[in-house]
Structure 1
Amino acid sequence: MLALPLSWPLEGRRVVLIGTGDWLARKLTLLRRTPAVLGVYTPDDEATYEGVVPERRWPTVEDLSDATFVIVAFEDRALAEQGAALVRAAHKPLNVVDNPDLGDFHVPAIIDRGPLSIGVATGGTAPVLARETRRRIEAAVPPSEAQLAEFAVRLSPHLRALLPQVDDRRRFWETVLDSDAARLAREGRIDQAVEIALAAARNPQPRQGVVHLVGAGPGDPELLTLKALRLLSEADVIVYDRLVGDGIMDLARRDAERFYVGKARSNHSVPQDQIHSLLVEQARLGKRVVRLKGGDPFVFGRGGEEVEALKAAGIEVHITPGITAALGCAASTAVPLTHRDHAQSVSFITGHAKDGDFEHNPLALDWDRLAAHHHTLVVYMGIHTAQTISEKLTQHGRAPDTPVLVVENGTRPNEVRRLTCLSDLPETLRADPPKGPALLIIGEVAALYQPTAAHPAVAEPARIA
């Protein structure tokens, strides 16, 4: 983030503009929609400005003494520098239109919805991009949001008296903005909307805690579902895993309480039963808890165990699916998991067997089925048991030269792909061990992978046709 967007209250504040022509006119059009008291100076300019009578001279330092900030708007760079020097002498915050290097702050592209304003800023580096982004946001934010914002302005002072605790007010706002009162406000029936909202505030309902198990997807923040994004923005508490991709937690509510419960192989920082207890404890405090899990909660994410524990404790629980790693890696590498010419079925298994001992697992794998030809096998957490997986599959009939694609950090900027074959898989991984989460795609479809300049295959045995 190159610049921090800020909101500057303008009620009763004096704002000074110095400039000429269209550059000054555009800033006047913007600021006349605010409650600021405007002082306008336009040296050597005969232009007229609707609704404003400017002083046709340069201001003095004394003229700027009570200014909250000053905007200098000249097309000519030399005049802009002269105006900036004057404002510097007055020690006032300065914006210089189209010359960000001369000023202290930038005015963002603004979406105006009455009391609700949305700013889009690029740190002064790409104003056209900011304007284009503003256009897209304007299409998504209906004009009726201005009436909803007016409803909020009128309601706020009453709520401070009725609900003195900040958390109580925030929860109330989140409820009322999705209620009949908000619907009435958008229709322009603001008085009625305020009455309904105040009645609800005078009789608040007890807090009901809830847990949402949310899939964070394979790593790329843009692969989050819209529902997952909304739940992250609403959560009071977020309990998250090691496999949650970089940048995803940046999308969460900034004041949400966060608990890291990440697990790595042979290093469970928080045992599963303690995670269950934490989720129950936070929900019983009346909080909205998001249990954020890499991939999908119900695909090797132990989400089923957490649902059972929460239901046994009487906690309301909801599940929001995520794009599981197999689908994310298949899309990222353009390797289909099924294909009419190569694979008619696909299986997902976990290679995270204790000491690599698949035989004595109570849910022993059906290796005959998994080793079938024209069948895709996707192995999660199989790097440390790759030797056993390779041996088991070949013992049960899979050809040693069966293609294998290893995808490390799938869908992330640091994604790495290794193309090998079943017999060479253990040595490939020993020679260049993955440092991040990795997935194995085993089967004829893996041969469809085409290395690129951005993602070359680390190993590419000649036996793969």
Structure 2
Amino acid sequence: MLALPLSWPLENRQVVLIGAGAWATRKLTLLRRTPATLHLFAPLADLADALPRWPQPAELADAALIIVAFEDRAMAEKGAALARTSRAPLNVVDFPDLSDFHVPAIIDRGSLSIGVATGGTAPVLARETRRKIEAAVPPSETHVAAFATALSPRLREIFPNTDDRRRVWETLLQSPAAEVARTGRIDEALALALSHIDAPRTGVVHLVGAGPGDPELLTLKALRLLSEADVIVYDRLVGDGIMDLARRDADRFYVGKERSNHSVPQAQIHELLVEQARLGKRVVRLKGGDPFVFGRGGEEVEALRQAGIDVHITPGVTAALGCAASAAVPLTHRDHAQSVTFITGHAKDGDSENNPLMLDWSALSAPHHTLVVYMGVATAKIISDKLMSHGRMPDTPVLVIENGTRRNERRMQVSLCTLADALHATPPEGPALVIIGEVAGLYQDTAAAVITETLRINA
């Protein structure tokens, strides 16, 4: 560790800023978010509300810290020399050799602030790391920080013992009171927290969409819930790497299903969710894609509500949207498709031998209409035959996307009349989505194009 990150209280403290240009303006924007009393000096007279001159030594005597911000090194050195007439700690922006301390890259969440420092050696790395942390600490944490600040004095009165207070905080920050605080209703959250301090802890279940596979497609809320969960019940379709983002000490239950191999029956999943919630646990039911798009989320909500369990839904990027975007295929297009329909090729009882679903095949077979089929590999022949018998042209483009958005994504472009044979010849090993319609013809295999171009150049 090259430098020691510190938290520096600035309430009722004086801070002096000497500078000009964009660097000084950025520092001024940062300082105005603090409670410090600011004294601004701009020798080049281009800094808002600043005195257009160098400060006098007496004007620096009471400074808690001084920041000098000039892009020109000669000006920065002059400002630093003047600041040294005071004993205040000095930061010279972007010139660490002239500085006593460095200002880290900051994630500002109100009274919660996070600094990322590299000892002044790699500020761009600090900014990139800050960007990643900001994604993991959503803006709603500003409200939670305000809630914690307001509640802290009261908890100190009620729980003088530090260990007791810590245990209460651990409970409250994962309670409904914290959820209310995240919406900005601080007074309501405080009342709820105080009323539930001595109450038995009640569980909650969050149905969370994990997206089609790529961990970066998780929503900020999904990421937060994963980091807070006591229990995670997850599917086979949850992408590699997503569980690595979950709370490490959470209990994990795998309930994955595969075609013709339902390792955990749905009714048993319902029982597991209810059981864990009744133990007072915060349960995350993690589903690939979106919980309410062929994810049985509706069935689980019904079961939880009948059991009197509090349940919340966090949507995810569904496979149709994620896979289509990964292949750069629009599901709607003014020239090719004015509507899109999502269907499943898998019947509830698994018996799709003769007719997978009771669907309006005439409507689904209309031209300039995109049809996205989930779980349709096993029933591809039935679906393609139904569509063609109701008027869909045999040469209609089809794109099959296996393991969409993941590192091992594979795509296959065929026509409607050859779909079943192609899937039989090279059956997908992972989850596959089938896009049927004119838009599938817009797909371009960029990898093949690059190889072709390379061969042409080398020839």
Any residues of structure 2 matched to 1:234-313 within 5 Å, and which? 234-313=228-307
What letter matches 1:357 in structure 2?
A: S
Find the residue that maps to 2:274 and give its secondary structure: helix
Task: Output one character per residue of 1:130-153: Cα deviation in whole Å (capped at 9) or x when no partner.
Answer: 145548959969999998777787
Tell me, yes or no, if the aligned pair for 1:346 and 1:377 is still in contact at 8 Å: yes
The aligned residue for residue 124 of structure 2 is: 128
Tell me, yes or no, if the aligned pair for 2:110 and 2:146 is still in contact at 8 Å: yes
The aligned residue for residue 379 of structure 2 is: 385
The aligned residue for residue 226 of structure 1 is: 220
Counterpart check, 1:341 vs 2:341: no
The aligned residue for residue 172 of structure 1 is: 172
Change (3 A) 1:343 1:277: same
Taking every aligned residue pair, what percent have the same amino acid on both sides? 64
Q: CA deviation at 1:234?
A: 3.1
Q: CA deviation at 1:326?
A: 1.0
Tell me, yes or no, if the aligned pair for 1:209 and 1:288 is still in contact at 8 Å: yes
Tell me, yes or no, if the aligned pair for 1:160 and 1:169 is still in contact at 8 Å: no
Find the residue that maps to 1:208 and give its secondary structure: coil
Change (3 A) 1:325 1:123: farther
Change (3 A) 1:117 1:406: same
| Structure 2: distance between partners of 1:442 and 1:435 | 20
Q: CA deviation at 1:442?
A: 0.6
Find the residue that maps to 1:440 and give its secondary structure: strand
* Structure 1 gap ranges (5+): 10-31, 34-45, 54-73, 76-96, 98-106, 187-192, 458-465
| Structure 1: distance between partners of 2:119 and 2:374 | 42
| Structure 2: distance between partners of 1:294 and 1:110 | 33
What letter matches 2:203 in structure 1?
A: G
Tell me, yes or no, if the aligned pair for 2:235 and 2:256 is still in contact at 8 Å: yes
Q: CA deviation at 1:405?
A: 0.5
Q: CA deviation at 1:252?
A: 2.8
Find the residue that maps to 1:318 and give its secondary structure: strand
Out of 181, 204, 210, the position equivalent to 1:210 is 204
Find the residue that maps to 2:126 and give its secondary structure: helix
The aligned residue for residue 161 of structure 2 is: 161
Q: CA deviation at 1:319?
A: 2.1
Change (3 A) 1:198 1:364: closer
Q: CA deviation at 1:277?
A: 0.2
| Structure 2: distance between partners of 1:289 and 1:427 | 43
| Structure 2: distance between partners of 1:240 and 1:7 | 38
The two structures have a TM-score, normalised by structure 1, of 0.63
Tell me, yes or no, if the aligned pair for 1:358 and 1:364 is still in contact at 8 Å: no
| Structure 2: distance between partners of 1:163 and 1:242 | 40
Tell me, yes or no, if the aligned pair for 2:336 and 2:439 is still in contact at 8 Å: yes
CA RMSD of aligned residues (A): 4.9
Find the residue that maps to 1:391 and give its secondary structure: helix
What letter matches 2:352 in structure 1?
A: D
| Structure 2: distance between partners of 1:352 and 1:139 | 37
Q: CA deviation at 1:221?
A: 2.5
Find the residue that maps to 1:423 and give its secondary structure: helix
| Structure 1: distance between partners of 2:355 and 2:228 | 44
Counterpart check, 1:415 vs 2:421: no
Out of 352, 355, 362, the position equivalent to 1:357 is 352
What letter matches 1:170 in structure 2?
A: E
Change (3 A) 1:200 1:304: closer
